[in-house]
C-alpha cells in the first residue's frame, strides 16, 4: 500500500511540476505579447507623427 502511495505522490509531483512549467511558459508568452503591443503602439505613434509632419510641410 505504501508503494502505491509513493508512486501516486511521485506522479502528482511530476504533474505539479509540468503545471508550473506551463504557467511559466504562459507568463513568458503574455510578456512577449505585451512587449509586441508596446512596440506596435510606439510604431503607430511614430507613424502618426510622420504623417503630421508630412502634412505640415515636413519639419
Q: Which residue has the cell 512577449?
A: 32
pLDDT at 45 over 60: yes
Residues near 53 by Cβ (< 8 Å), separated by ≥ 6?
59
Tell me the chain's radius of gyration from C-alpha atoms.
Answer: 25
pLDDT at 37: 93
Identify the band that residue 59 occupies on the pLDDT scale cut at 50, 70 and 90. low
pLDDT at 15: 96
More confident residue, 15 or 52: 15
For residue range 9-41, what is the model confidence (pLDDT) as tens digits?
A: 999 999 999 999 999 999 999 999 999 999 999
**pTM of the predicted model as reported, rounded to 2 decimal places:** 0.57
Amino acid at each position: 500500500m505504501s508503494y502505491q502511495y509513493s508512486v501516486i505522490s511521485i506522479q502528482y509531483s511530476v504533474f505539479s511540476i509540468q503545471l508550473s512549467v506551463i504557467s511559466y511558459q504562459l507568463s513568458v508568452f503574455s510578456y512577449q505579447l505585451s512587449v509586441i503591443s508596446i512596440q506596435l503602439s510606439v510604431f503607430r505613434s511614430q507613424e502618426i507623427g510622420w504623417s503630421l509632419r508630412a502634412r505640415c510641410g515636413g519639419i
